[in-house]
Structure 1
Amino acid sequence: MADKEKTIAIAGAGSIGCYVGGCLALAGRKVVFLARGRIVEALRNDGLQVSDLDGRDRRIEPEALAVTDNPATALHDADIILVTVKSGATEEMAAEIANHGRQDAIVVSLQNGVDNADKLGTRLPALRVLAGMVAFNVVQSADGDVPFRVHRASHGGVMIDDGVDGLVDLLNVSGLAVEARGDMKAVQWSKLLMNLNNALVALSDLPLAAELADRHWRVLLAGQIDEALAAMKRAGIEPARIAGPPPWMLPNVLRLPDWLFGLLARRMLAIDPQARSSMWDDLKRGRTTEIEDLQGAVLRLARQTGTPMPTIERITALVHQAEADKHGPPGLSAEAVSAGPRSA
């Protein structure tokens, strides 16, 4: 599997896909980017700039990139398919892989949420499907900036299911730390706890670092995590420890005064000052967010276990309201979020 000539398809080359694919291409891996619209045009015309919080800043010229908007072209010869589309497009991508992918291809879900690998596996029963988790934030350059840039704006790496010999060696390259885990479902639930913050970044219209530095917003995140942990405990789900404090300690750490949180959570705050969240970007572009795959996953678990979810229900309703309004991130205060959505 570690054969560096194997073809890797990036199935959904947005921010995460372009960063992952860019690092792999820079390391000499054979990469095909399946993208849409402006990203296809940007990569074909001006190439790709890949940078990160650790100081790397690298350029791939357009002639060195294989970019297409045709699923058949991207998937037909792929040995490895890294699925990086938003959760709402998982079933559509599964259909494309079923129609155009090889029957011996290995599919890896590098998506938010806890059940995208399961969805892919259900629709691709003949293929080996692995769960994955991306533990870092990626921001992309503003529309029209040349070249198109993707920047890893926080620390962290990628975790994938173990069991495929050589796959980690193939994917683990400079700027992209990859490790295998035997407890990916627990890892995904742990990542989901912190992904509950995506909605707060979107509602506040604040950069991630500024939002996390403010105790008023952290208290809202802590409340969501408390509710999620209660439902997970009732369901017998134990989230994995990934980095930093164990999951059960997160609410207490988040509720610390700003000065003490700043001392104890330096790694959590080591974020590019411009980093936001994908949910913020979705509201900015008038797109449907992943709220139903993040907060929604916890609410579904809560219904199964009879666990109250007042904070998560309130935040979910506010995101749905912002989606419907189509005015972008609403720029709410923490107090407004605590109060909940306005009456119809």
Structure 2
Amino acid sequence: MTPPEHRTEPHPRTRPRVVVYGAGSIGCHLGGSLAATADVTLVGREDAMRVIDTEGVTLTGGGRPARHTPAGALRTATGPEAVAGADYVLVTVKSADTAGVARRMAAHLDPGTVVVSFQNGLRNAAVLTTALGGHAVLAGMVPYNVLRDGPGAFHQGSGGALMLDDRPQATDLVAALRAGGLPVQPRTDMREVQHAKLLMNLNNAINALSGLPLRDQLGERSYRACLALCQGEALAAFRAAGVRPARLGTIPAAWTPAVLRLPDALFRRLAGASLRIDAQARSSTWEDLRRGRPTEIDDLQGAVVALAARHGLPAPANSRLITLIRLMEAAGPEQARSWRGPDLLAEIAAPRR
């Protein structure tokens, strides 16, 4: 493993220097997409970076031809020193790691570096802003699913455009992302976008518990009814907090629980776009459990439970899903249970004593 500073000679400075901090599936997908248009460094675990040094990065899916970035075309690093000199740092670590990462890289950031949170959850941009003082911090959102499907290989299983705070500091990054083939929507309502994404991500735990690919799981009414319960609790908490989630698809957020409960055939007619997902796609929570890693359940279902509690509201379905995921985390990948839709619905809908 070479030192964390730099692996190769730097590219010409006409290209933005981008550091992706947290080079898992999403981070490697972003970094691999940017490799042709930016000077990219991936920061991640030593074993994962060793694979990138050997295999490079191969990206598939997303409606685009397979793309391979050879070993050596991307720098890799394992420590926070790699952020020195960066124009942009894209933070893609799990939410629980955000504060620690911010503390570690704070001393190495140049004054003009822009930090972008491309993470799940509602609080990461605020955590970064607090920890990094005067640095510009932008909120971003990745709408699609990416899973690692081989050494250095990452598959995008669903579509959609990246979303990012519409601020002048984002201009060069937006241009580089678009040149790398990634659609980007600058937004002035990222708070509302993040709440809408949280509604979508409440399916992550349900998908993991089902053991099914996303397309198959969302095709079954009983699993969608589980998601409808979770989203209904979240929407009630959002209303109490005065938040109106952004409309990210064809159906307004407030209507989604009712649509999810429709019979399968009618759901396919009204919300067919929800099922236009690659047959390989699964949730990040499924991948975390399969690989024996902690999940982000505290920043997904946990965020709903916490917000509901602040406003004196119950969130029993989300609370029960937290318990079920915690049990699977403790059991480990070999003991993972796959829940049938009717059984999972009965489990999270039943009154708790």
Kindly report the root-mean-square deviation, in angstroms, between the aligned alpha carbons of the 2 structures.
1.8
- Which residue does 1:91 correspond to in 2? 99
Distance in 2 (alpha carbons) for counterparts of 1:54 and 1:285: 27
* 8 Å Cα contact 1:158-1:179 kept in structure 2: yes
Structure 2 residues not aligned, in runs of 5+: 1-12
Asked if structure 1 preserves the Cα contact closer than 8 Å seen for 2:305 and 2:314, the reply is no
Partners in 2 of 1:170 and 1:164 — Cα distance? 14
Q: Give the paired residue count.
A: 335
TM-score by length of 1: 0.93
Task: Provide the C-alpha distance between the structure 2 equivalents of 1:40 and 1:70, rounded to a whole number of angstroms.
Answer: 11
Query: Retained in 2: the 8 A contact 1:318–1:337?
Result: no
Mapped to 2, the partners of 1:54 and 1:286 lie a distance apart of 30
Partner secondary structure for residue 186 of structure 2 = strand
Residue 208 of structure 1 corresponds to which residue in structure 2? 214
Aligned to 1:81: 89
Provide the residue aligned with 1:150 in structure 2.
154
Does residue 280 (structure 1) correspond to residue 286 (structure 2)? The answer is: yes
1:17 corresponding residue in structure 2? 27
Residue 172 of structure 1 deviates from its aligned partner by 2.2
1:160 alignment partner, one of 148, 164, 176 = 164
**Could you tell me whether the CA contact under 8 Å between 1:48 and 1:59 is conserved in 2?**
yes
Indicate the larger mover: 121-130 or 306-315: 306-315
Aligned 1:1-344 pairs, distance under 5 A: 4-26=14-36, 28-72=37-81, 74-142=82-150, 145=151, 148-165=152-169, 166-167=171-172, 168-327=174-333, 329-340=336-347
Q: CA deviation at 1:336?
A: 3.0
> What SS class does the counterpart of residue 179 from structure 2 fall into?
coil
Once residues 201 and 182 of structure 1 are traced to their aligned partners in structure 2, the CA distance between those partners, rounded to angstroms, is 31
Amino acid at match of 2:110: R
Q: How far apart are residue 315 of structure 1 and its match?
A: 1.1
Q: CA deviation at 1:288?
A: 1.4
Cα pair distance change 1:4/1:255, threshold 3 Å: farther
In 2, Cα distance between equivalents of 1:228 and 1:245: 16
Tell me if the contact between 1:52 and 1:175 (Cα under 8 Å) persists in the aligned partners.
no
CA distance in 2, matches of 1:54, 1:282: 25
| Equivalent pair of 1:138/1:150 in contact (CA under 8 Å) | yes
Tell me how far apart the structure 2 counterparts of residues 242 and 130 of structure 1 sit (CA, whole Å): 19
For residues 5 and 182 of structure 1, the distance between their equivalents in structure 2, rounded to whole angstroms, comes to 26
Between the two proteins, what is the percent identity of the paired residues?
Answer: 42
Q: How far 1:22 moved relative to its partner?
A: 0.7
1:274 deviation in Å?
A: 1.3
- Provide the residue aligned with 2:10 in structure 1: none
CA contact 2:223–2:342 (8 Å) conserved in 1: no
Task: Say which SS state the counterpart of residue 331 (structure 1) adopts.
Answer: coil
Question: What is the TM-score normalised by the length of structure 2?
Answer: 0.91
Which runs of 5 or more residues in structure 1 are unaligned? Answer: none
Alpha-carbon distance in structure 1 between the residues aligned to 2:28 and 2:198? 22
Q: Which moved more, 1:218-227 or 1:317-326?
A: 317-326
Deviation at 1:314, TM superposition (A): 1.3
Superposed displacement of residue 175, structure 1: 3.2
Deviation of residue 4 (structure 1)? 4.7
CA contact (8 A) 2:225 2:345 kept: no
Contact (CA 8 Å) 1:315, 1:340: kept in 2 or not? no
SS at the partner of 1:33? strand
